[in-house]
A and B are shown apart, each in its own frame.
Chain A
Amino acid sequence: MITLEQVTKVYQAANGAVTAVDNVSLEIREGEIFGIIGYSGAGKSSLIRLLNGLEKPTSGRVIVAGRDMARVKGRELRNARQEIGMIFQHFNLLWSRTVRENIAFPLEIAGVPREERQKRVDELIQLVGLTGREEAYPSQLSGGQKQRVGIARALANNPKVLLCDEATSALDPQTTDAILDLLVDINKRLGLTIVLITHEMHVIRKICDRVAVMESGKIVEQGDVLHVFRNPQQPITKRFVKQLVEPEETEEAVSHLFGHYPNGVIAQLTFVGAAAGQPLITQVVRQFAVDVNILQGKISQTHQGAYGVLFVHIDGAADEIGRALDYIQDQQVAVEVIHDAR
């Protein structure tokens, strides 16, 4: 659906050239939700803006739905853009228009007759769950509602691709989850290809099928979300994955507990994929002469399976603890002893 071939984007700024996108090649499949994650300034926005021709690449090819977005111009470019919806971090609604009129805007651009416009807008309002708010102005809506308008607007012309530039970064966690659910729903129902960029691992975890990690303009790592979570290669990827399963406060909370456990070990168990935490712990307690206490834990459901971390305290004879740890490791669970008082 989307192919990037050795795409580079260089901005000429007053104080020299900035290479925002550096020789990126990517393949995004039809119907998937593809996430691009990176820190601020990594070049994510520049990359996504190349996909609808808001920026032209300095070199390389950008093929979206069979069209080379680097080369089309004028009317053809405008037609191509009608097949690519986009939503934004700050929603970018027209404040002078009501919800209904905002959603109708892309239909006006596409020259859809009034009657049909009305019908389509009604459908969209229902699709994004804004029934009853049709005549409100953006200033009267919450952030989540504004983003729903943004999504409805982006879907109005039945696009093949939906681009999301930090679509949830201005929203609180609950609203973020609701919007992400809506995106998954749209992806399933309409078979729409979604490209989203974010700096939050949570977003990738929750809805993406595949992920690319971007740093200083380059894609440093990409693959299936679970695969990347399981084997992060690059330091930046490791940092992102760590952010997800092991919030800083968890490590702190656990280190506070060291004093409470003068014996045994405290270990961090990292689960990826199907293996779930609870049955494993039961097995360990049954098979080995050890006590296991769960201190902290966080198991997240990804789009493709479970992923998470448990902090446990294991007490017993030193060699028995060793055998228990080996057993856990054999179950495809990564074990890291973070405090050893055997």
Chain B
Amino acid sequence: MLANLLPNVQWETMWAATVETLYMTGMAVAATFVLGVVLGLLLFLTAKGNLWENRLANTVIAAFVNIFRSIPFIILIILLIPFTKWLVGTMLGANAALPALIIGAAPFYARMVEIALREIDKGVIEAAQAMGASTWTIIWKVLLPESLPALVSGITVTAVSLVGYTAMAGVVGAGGLGNLAYLEGFQRSHNDVTFVATVLVLVIVFVIQWIGDIVTSKIDKR
């Protein structure tokens, strides 16, 4: 029955592509989270009136973030080809997509982190200072816990975009559902393959959003 409706779908290949997409997304989300939080913290802390106020550092980081956030992803992949080849050794496969995915998403997420940190009541930071907290204590025990719901909902949004990015990366050879849809579905005109790949991408996106929403509402005690 299913085989009649979807004559060209090979389920093992489809499954392998799904796993690849999940792998790329998972790795990229993890790295983006770490890098984005670090960059976001630096952006926040070096801003005017904050703990590490430093005009030069702030300008440099902000410029870096803005530039990489503005480059369209597909162009970023092409720009990063030499870097990726040097780092991963090839342009094919899931790992080759990671540098572009992370460099594309981390600055985007860093801005969200910065906004989340700016939402924290200045008075709370001041109270911690008044108690004699060091900057590290403030980062670990005030800034990150107090902004956690926003950090989680931000990474959820970022993860959803990353699923889309992996599909784009797939077109240029990185594997995953995007790659399958392009090679099998589009180039060989197997619309059923494209259809199934699309449904799977949607399912992944919905699951990510669903998990993100649950976690956010669990940790938000405001």
Evaluate contact between A95 and B127: CB separation under 8 angstroms: no
Evaluate contact between A108 and B141: CB separation under 8 angstroms: yes
- Chain B residues lying within 8 Å of A52, measured Cβ to Cβ, are 130
Q: Which of A77, A84, A88 contacts B123 (CB 8 A)?
A: A88
Q: What is the interface residue range for chain B against chain A?
A: 20 to 34
CA distance A18 to B129 in the complex (A): 24
Closest B residue by C-beta to A83: B132
Q: Which of B129, B133, B142, B219 contacts A54 (CB 8 A)?
A: B129
Q: 1/0 per position for B123-146, CB-CB distance to A under 8 A? A: 110111111111001000110011
Cβ-Cβ contact count across A and B, 8 Å cutoff: 63
- Chain B residues lying within 8 Å of A81, measured Cβ to Cβ, are 129-132
Evaluate contact between A78 and B133: CB separation under 8 angstroms: yes
Instruction: Confirm or deny: A82 has a beta carbon within 8 angstroms of a beta carbon on chain B.
Output: yes
Evaluate contact between A109 and B137: CB separation under 8 angstroms: yes
Q: Which of A77, A79, A95, A108 contacts B221 (CB 8 A)?
A: A95
Evaluate contact between B130 and A137: CB separation under 8 angstroms: no
Evaluate contact between B123 and A92: CB separation under 8 angstroms: yes
Please report whether the interface of chain A is mostly helix, strand, loop or mixed according to DSSP: mixed
CB distance from A170 to the nearest CB of B (A): 12
CA distance A84 to B130 in the complex (A): 8
- Chain B residues lying within 8 Å of A95, measured Cβ to Cβ, are 146, 221-222
Q: Which of B128, B132, B221 contacts A137 (CB 8 A)?
A: B221
Instruction: Confirm or deny: A86 has a beta carbon within 8 angstroms of a beta carbon on chain B.
Output: yes
- Chain A residues lying within 8 Å of B129, measured Cβ to Cβ, are 54, 81
Evaluate contact between A92 and B222: CB separation under 8 angstroms: no
CA distance A93 to B123 in the complex (A): 9
CA distance A78 to B128 in the complex (A): 10
CA distance A79 to B132 in the complex (A): 6
Instruction: Confirm or deny: A97 has a beta carbon within 8 angstroms of a beta carbon on chain B.
Output: yes
Evaluate contact between A96 and B123: CB separation under 8 angstroms: no
Q: 1/0 per position for B86-128, CB-CB distance to A under 8 A? A: 0000000000000000000000000000000000010110111
Q: Which of A77, A78, A88 contacts B127 (CB 8 A)?
A: A88
Q: 1/0 per position for A52-76, CB-CB distance to B under 8 A? A: 1010000000000000000000000
CB distance from B206 to the nearest CB of A (A): 28
CB distance from A97 to the nearest CB of B (A): 7
Evaluate contact between A90 and B222: CB separation under 8 angstroms: no
Interface centre among B130, B134, B137, B146 (most CB of A within 10 A): B130
Closest A residue by C-beta to B221: A137
- Indicate whether A82 sits within 8 Å of B132 (C-beta atoms), given known contacts A88-B127, A94-B124: yes
Evaluate contact between B130 and A54: CB separation under 8 angstroms: yes
Evaluate contact between B133 and A92: CB separation under 8 angstroms: no
CA distance A86 to B133 in the complex (A): 13
- Chain A residues lying within 8 Å of B126, measured Cβ to Cβ, are 54, 88, 92
Could you list 11 examples of A-B contacts with CB < 8 Å?
Answer: A52-B130, A54-B126, A54-B129, A81-B130, A81-B132, A88-B126, A94-B124, A94-B146, A105-B131, A106-B131, A157-B131
Given contacts A80-B132, A81-B129, A94-B146, 5 further A-B contacts (CB under 8 A): A86-B127, A86-B131, A105-B128, A108-B141, A153-B131
Interface residues, chain B, CB within 8 Å of chain A?
121, 123-124, 126-134, 137, 141-142, 145-146, 148, 219, 221-222
